[in-house]
């Protein structure tokens, strides 16, 4: 008599948590380094994505602009391929569990740990007239964001690694004192090679806060604007499409072209052999603009359908709160709070 083997249980997907601040625009650097990757990992992981508008208020915000930017950032995630049916997508400030858990975490976080945070030092220098308590304690809010959803992984750049390390320290401390409360999160680093530099200065990272708008390309820039920005990109006085010392501008354009086409450096060099910088800049600009065209069109359509966006926000919030409340309640009971 033959035995019937039971099918193995499907492996539970690991949880990924990430967020983006509602800054008003997303550059191609943000797109390639974060949002595009979020859309690509939705099948592999159970994803929780948030618009981190609480984090945005460590710097003074104009209320109407913050509300507008929050909605646009949400629409942009969906336009870039984040699917609210496959991922949990919500607005951070709508879930009170984030700030409720933050208080508990604050009480298990040492002053010295927060004072050593690199971004606090950097932002304190940049915003010397507004070094507020939120700026000092926002790493514990970030820890609450991660721990509420028992995240296994947090997609980060190297500059955010310190925040995940602090989150692990806090989680380990509370687990040791109060019992097994939190999953220990790990960093999920993006694939190397897509660090996008400023078009006006290829030695600096592309940034939306750069005062010169020609230095960055925004995802929502019209096609003509994208092409003009690439045409004016800083290169060098030589020739030849290749990477070499002193050719940082061309190297940056090759990185961008490769990221949008999937072509290797060798393939790019062969494609543009015997052609000048002008041809290459135009090709990069047209390629970027064409790849982003569906994103711009989808974004415009979403912004015309406020009812759909509101429904997605509400559904995402409900899913997020169902998970986060379990963690918040568990922590509060262990601490001794009434519920």
Among all residues, which ones are annotated catalytic? 123, 205, 208
Do the beta carbons of residue 283 and residue 272 sit within 8 Å? yes
Neighbouring C-beta atoms of residue 203, cutoff 10 Å: 10
Token digits of residue 224: 């003509």
Query: Measured between alpha carbons, how far is 202 from 208 in angstroms, rounded to an integer?
Result: 15
What is the spatial distance between Cα 270 and Cα 265, in angstroms, rounded to a whole number?
9
Q: In the numeric block, which tokens belong to residue 59?
A: 């710097």
Dist. CA 27–CA 206, nearest whole Å? 8
Largest Cα separation within the chain, whole Å, is 81
| Contact yes or no for 276/250 (Cβ under 8 A) | no
The secondary structure of 112-181 as a DSSP string is HHHHT-HHHHHHHHHTGGG--HHHHHHHHHHHHHHHHTT-SEEE--GGGHHHHHHHHHHHHHHHHHH-S-
């Amino acid at each position: 008599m033959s035995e019937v083997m039971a099918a193995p249980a499907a492996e539970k997907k690991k949880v990924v948590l990430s967020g983006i601040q509602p800054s008003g625009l997303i550059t191609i650097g943000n797109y390639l380094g974060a949002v595009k990757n979020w859309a690509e990992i939705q099948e592999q992981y159970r994803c929780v994505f948030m618009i981190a508008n609480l984090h945005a208020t460590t710097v003074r915000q104009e209320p109407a602009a913050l509300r507008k930017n929050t909605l646009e950032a949400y629409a942009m995630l969906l336009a870039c391929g984040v699917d609210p049916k496959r991922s949990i997508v919500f607005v951070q400030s709508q879930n009170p569990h984030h700030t409720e858990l933050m208080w508990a975490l604050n009480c298990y976080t040492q002053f010295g740990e927060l004072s050593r945070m690199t971004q606090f030092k950097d932002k304190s220098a940049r915003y010397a007239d507004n070094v507020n308590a939120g700026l000092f304690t926002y790493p514990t809010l970030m820890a609450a964001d991660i721990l509420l959803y028992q995240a296994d992984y947090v997609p980060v750049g190297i500059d955010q690694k310190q925040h995940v390390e602090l989150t692990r320290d806090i989680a380990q401390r509370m687990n040791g004192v109060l019992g097994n409360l939190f999953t220990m999160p790990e960093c999920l680093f993006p694939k190397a090679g897509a660090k996008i530099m400023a078009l006006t200065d290829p030695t600096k990272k592309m940034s939306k806060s750069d005062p010169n708008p020609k230095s960055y390309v925004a995802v929502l820039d019209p096609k003509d604007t994208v092409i003009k920005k690439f045409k004016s990109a800083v290169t060098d006085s030589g020739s030849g499409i290749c990477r070499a010392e002193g050719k940082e501008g061309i190297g940056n354009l090759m990185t961008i072209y490769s990221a949008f086409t999937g072509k290797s450096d060798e393939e790019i060099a062969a494609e543009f052999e015997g052609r000048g910088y002008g041809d290459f800049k135009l090709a990069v600009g047209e390629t970027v603009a064409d790849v982003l065209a569906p994103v711009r069109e989808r974004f415009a359509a979403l912004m015309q359908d406020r009812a759909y966006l509101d429904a997605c926000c509400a559904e995402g919030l409900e899913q997020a709160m169902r998970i986060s409340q379990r963690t918040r309640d568990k922590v509060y009971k262990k601490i001794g709070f009434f519920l």
